[in-house]
Amino acid sequence: MELDLGAVRAFLAVVDDGHFTEAADRLGVTQQAVSKRIARLESDLGVPLVHRSRAGARPTGDGATFLPHARALISLADQATAMLRAHRRALRIDVLARAAASIAMVRDFYEAGDVDVDIVVSRGAVPRSTALAGGSVDAAFGRATGVLPPGIERIPACLEPIPILVGRRHRLARRRRVPMEELSGLTAWMPGNARDSEWEEYYRLLSAEFGVQIDTSGPVFGHDHIMERIGASPDLITFGNKTQFPGHPDVVQISVTDPTPVYPWSLMWHEANRHPSLPLLIAHVKDRYRPFAAGSRWLPAPDRPLFPAAPEPGP
């Protein structure tokens, strides 16, 4: 005897919804089709599974006995289907932000092989652990500190140097690079630093260590508005680069040195994810990651255990 999985799904829908009409709506078929499927299942098993009454439908004693086995059958079928679909669909990667080092890493991975990728730009709207565990994305880039939720794996991906942007009237505008200590007391206007975001904490820790004031006031009207205000101000700076804020002639980019602040990007995924291209991405990132030299770069203390400095060269 071979069970019809469509009939098993119909049985589960009726039990869960309590009515044939609602089960039919859920399955997208007619009520008559649901009745026929359950009648066929009952015939195959040789026992009645559903008790029908004016109040609705409920499982019989044999139906209650069959119920956990029915759920297991459908769960296995769904898992098998999802696994096969994963072999056919693109690898979904959350890059967090479009103009960031993460997008360059994904582009490099895509151009180095023949893996189809689907780029997701979440801006942190959905917790990565939730997205990874639920399968809405296969991998995600971002800052990952502390103890991660169960099942989430991570590796260091890259350290992105962070310059500053100033208007041409600013006293630093003619400099190509500036030591971090010279930024002490200046105000970096960053209205996009959402509270409790990973980047808000990063700049809060940077401010505490180097005395740069981070001003997050005001709504975000877009990149043009931020650059217009920075370009017109003789005092304000912002952290960022011309890739993030292109096309503003009144704004110049200046490298920060001694030390250079770097944003710590990690690659994260869920250990249960079986997408066939995920190991390729992990290997690609591992192969291209380079640690930083001790003393030349700065990153917050919570990130340092995952991003140890490169060993000093021998004599």
Amino acid identity of residue 245, one-letter, is F
The two tokens of residue 109 are 């991975």
Residues 175 and 289 in one domain: no
Query: Do residue 166 and residue 256 come from a single domain?
Result: yes
Look up the pTM and report it.
0.70
Residue 307 is assigned to a structural domain of this protein: no
Q: What is the pLDDT along the chain (315 residues), one digit of tens a residue?
A: 678 888 989 999 998 888 888 888 888 888 899 899 999 988 888 999 999 888 888 999 998 999 898 888 888 877 777 665 555 689 999 998 888 899 999 999 999 988 999 999 887 777 888 899 988 999 999 999 888 899 999 999 999 999 999 999 999 999 999 999 999 999 999 987 877 778 899 999 999 999 999 999 988 788 899 999 999 999 999 999 988 888 889 999 999 999 999 999 999 999 999 999 999 999 999 999 988 877 789 999 999 999 988 776 555
The count of structural domains within the chain is: 3
72-75: long-range contacts at Cβ-Cβ below 8 A with a sequence spacing of 24 or more?
Answer: 73/3, 73/5, 73/8, 74/5, 74/8, 74/9, 74/12
Residue 277 to residues 160, 191, 273, 283, Cα–Cα distance (Å): 25, 37, 10, 10
Together in a domain, 254 and 224: yes
Q: Quick one: 197 and 241 in the same domain?
A: yes
Query: Domain check: are 246 and 268 in the same one?
Result: no
Same domain, 145 and 271: yes
Domain span including residue 216: 160-261
* CATH number of residue 231's parent domain: 3.40.190.10
Same domain? For 98 and 164 the reply is no
Tell me whether residue 193 is in a domain. Answer: yes
- Is residue 108 domain-resident? yes
